Structure 1
Amino acid sequence: MKELAPTEAVLLDIDGTLLDSNDAHAQSWVDVFQRHGLPPTFEQVRALIGKGGDKVLAELVQIDHESPQGKQLSDERRDVFLNRYLPDVKPTPGARALVQRLRDEEIKVVIATSAKGAELQALLRRAGVEDLIEEATTSDDADHSKPDPDIVQAALERAGVQPVEAIMIGDTPYDIEAAAKAGVDTLALRCGGWWDDAALGRAEAIYDSPADLLRRWEESPIAKRRIPGG
């Protein structure tokens, strides 16, 4: 059994976790695919949201994200998302309050997202937490996006903690898998949609939203690990 340590850092996903943006990301990809005559449907794309764009392209249309075509598709997808969909996206319930609570508890907060660095500030701003986040890692900081562990490992380094001292909060099986490969436990949120509890079952606990986690804070793994012997 893995030895538990006090929670010194929380690694936070953004999309689906702090921001109700997963459907918007999927639709952005579909819009661009259709523009280029590519066949993936919304359902096919939506099931991969949480992975990085490199994996979406490779798995759905067999295009290398580093190729000229891959870069063009990725850039167009980013522009569609930021300009057409992001202005209407809302924070998940309790997103800002959760980040504020973590800061109040003197827990290090590091963003660990498969999003590109070029989107990061816009995402944080739309989630209403831009002024509360000081450290972040994106797919630009990793060779491979989730569910590979690279982004989580980069976030651990940024936080300056060991895996047993951190907890990941995310909303997809890819967050859970990436964290597990890095030796980090995960709390899962249902507010990202799409995934049922069975798909999120490897998480230490599952909550409806950041607000639900706050309501149940004292019994959460984060709080229990802050208490000696908890």
Structure 2
Amino acid sequence: MIFDIDGTLVDTNYLHAIAWRRAFVDCGEDVATARIHRMIGAGSEVLLRELLGDVRTDVKKAWRGHFDELKPEIRPFADAASLLRAVKERGATVVLASSSEQEDVDALLAAIDADDAIAEVTSAGDVSDAKPSPEVFQMAMDKAGLDPASTVAVGDTVWDVEAAARAGLRCVCVLSGGIGQAELDAAGALAVYPDVSTLLRDLDGSPLLGG
């Protein structure tokens, strides 16, 4: 089982959007927060090209500073750790797939506090392309020795669904990242749940375990 982290297990999507909004303002760019939010989950280069037409290193540097300031506000979603442990207890391998920098992944892992349930984790050092490239999911499978035919991804954005499909994976989604069910369904999500708490309650009957 491969889990996205931001917006799926940890409540960070809006923190990322706020940090990007402040970075754009710092660099003289007026980009609506709603547009920024819709790009969260894609890599920073994809985000910058879509919103500015160019990969601006000054904006990315400003984002780094603002996101670091917001890190103390990082919180896991309710039952995130319990879900990971429940999946492991049922015999599945738990892998977390991120293309964030290692320092950010470390902060996310500390917030989740379920290292005992996690077999492998990916970070920026493992991949050259972020979502919607399938590389992060492919690397997660490689690190854990997983077969795409028997592996399900869990995410919260259209980017997750697209990247999973390109990696040969089915993708279950949660709404906690702020993307609506209609969009996730249209992208090809296998199933959509309100949040990981609901997914935990329905775990045994969910697509994660073949339900």
- 1:180 equivalenced with 2:174 (yes/no): no
Higher relative contact order (CA 8 A, sep 6+): 1
TM-score by length of 1: 0.85
Query: Which letter maps to 2:163?
Result: A
Structure 1 residues 129 and 54, CA, compared in 2 at 3 Å: closer, same or farther? farther
Pick aligned residue for 1:46 from 37, 41, 56: 37
Q: How does 1:108-187 map to 2 (within 5 A)?
A: 108-187=93-172
Instruction: Select the structure that is richer in helix.
Output: 2
**What is the distance in 2 between the residues matched to 1:214 and 1:36?**
42
Correspondence for 1:219 among 190, 205, 209: 205
Aligned mates of 1:212, 1:86 — CA distance in 2: 26
- How much has 1:162 moved relative to structure 2? 1.7
In the alignment, residue 51 of structure 1 is paired with which amino acid?
A: A
**Is 2:173 aligned against 1:210?**
no
2:26–2:62: 8 Å Cα contact kept in structure 1?
Answer: no
Q: 1:63 & 1:117 partners in 2: Cα distance?
A: 25
CA distance in 1, matches of 2:118, 2:205: 25
Unaligned runs of 5+ residues in structure 2 are none
Cα distance in 2, alignment partners of residues 21 and 98 from structure 1? 18
CA distance in structure 1 between the aligned counterparts of 2:118 and 2:86, rounded to whole angstroms: 12
- Deviation of 1:51 after TM superposition, in Å, equals 0.5
Q: How many residues align?
A: 209
Q: 2:53 aligns with which of 55, 62, 71?
A: 62
Closer/same/farther in 2, CA of residues 103 and 124 from structure 1, 3 Å limit: same
Q: Deviations over 1:161-203 (max 9, x none)?
A: 221121100000110110001100011001111x111111111
Distance 2:114 2:68 in 1: 17
5+ residue gaps in structure 1?
A: 1-9, 226-230
Name the counterpart of 1:7: none
How big is each residue's C-alpha offset from its partner over 1:59-79, in whole Å with a ceiling of 9 and x where there is no partner? 112333xxxx52x43233123
The separation in 2 between residues aligned to 1:139 and 1:146, in whole angstroms, is 11
In the alignment, the residues of structure 1 paired with residue 181 and residue 97 of structure 2 have an alpha-carbon distance, to the nearest angstrom, of 22
Between 195-204 and 180-189, the greater mean CA deviation after superposition: 195-204
Is 1:21 aligned with 2:12? yes
* Contact 1:110/1:136, CA 8 A, preserved across alignment: yes
Deviation track 1:46-96 (CA, whole Å, cap 9, x = no partner) reads 1100101111112112333xxxx52x432331232122x221232112101
Query: 1:130, CA displacement in angstroms?
Result: 4.4
- Equivalent AA in structure 2 for residue 221 of structure 1: P
User: Aligned with 1:177: secondary structure?
Assistant: helix
Q: Deviations over 1:103-147 (max 9, x none)?
A: 212311111123222311011112333454341112332222111
Contact 1:169 1:186 (8 Å CA) reproduced? yes
Percent identity reads 32
Q: TM-score, normalised by structure 2?
A: 0.92
Distance 1:57 1:130 in 2: 33
